[in-house]
Copies of this chain bind each other. A is one copy, B any other.
Amino acid sequence: MREVFQNELDSLADMLVEMTQKVSVAMEKSKEALRTNNLELAEEVIAADVEIDRLQLELDKSAAEILALQAPVARDLRVVIATLRMSASIERMGDLARHVSQQVRIRFPESAVPDDFRQILKDMTTAAVRIAHAIQELVSEPGLDAVPTIDDLDETLDTLHLAVFTKIAGSNLSPSQVADVTLLSRYLERFGDHAVSIAQRIEYLLTGSWTSELIPGTD
């Protein structure tokens, strides 16, 4: 029985890993679509997002089944609850990667990125791709090594997001260009926030520092 249960937990973890892989690919492609104003690539990201949504639904269904049929307690229960939360964050990261590609599509054949903002948005998408890879790594092999990297990359994204506004204030962009850049920057900044929230859940699971807070008396 325990073995069956462990298999079910493993299958939850596998789905979580698969979601992070797809989010990584989505952000890699969005970065490239933005850099090269590649409509085809942008369309790929937009089309592929339904698959991430489907995986989240499947994962949530499995998690609910485990709760219903196995009634896990203590650490197992925390894993299932954390997985439900993480799947929501990863699904949202997929949406944000899609939003970046949607900006490419909306402006095409013009570029969504004004020349003066090429570098800063390249820096942001680079940080976003790295944070997606770090989350993928963290979910594949949970350990605390990747957590500081994720925090650093999120700080980089926050700093660049603020820098975008300073740069906007001194720019001579058209109003629509400002709106584009503002939204792109916001999407990438939020992408980082979700990564941090996933990292925190894994950290809590591994260190137990969340334990007493979350489920007193069950451990």
Contact = CB atoms under 8 A, between A and B. Distances in A.
A125 to B, nearest CB: 19
A79 B217 CA distance: 22
Contacts of A85: 84, 88
Given A64-B214, A215-B64, A179 B176 contact: no
- Please classify the interface of chain A as helix (H, G, I), strand (E, B), loop, or mixed, using the class held by over half of its residues: helix
Given A88-B88, A176-B169, A178-B175, A68 B61 contact: no
A61 B215 contact: yes
25 contacts: A61-B214, A61-B216, A64-B77, A64-B81, A64-B218, A65-B216, A65-B217, A65-B218, A68-B73, A68-B77, A68-B217, A69-B217, A88-B88, A168-B176, A169-B174, A169-B175, A169-B179, A170-B175, A175-B175, A175-B178, A179-B179, A179-B182, A182-B183, A183-B186, A186-B186
Interface residues of A, number: 38
A165 interface: yes
Interface of A: 57, 60-61, 64-65, 67-69, 71, 73-74, 77-78, 81, 84-85, 88, 165, 168-176, 178-179, 182-183, 186, 213-218
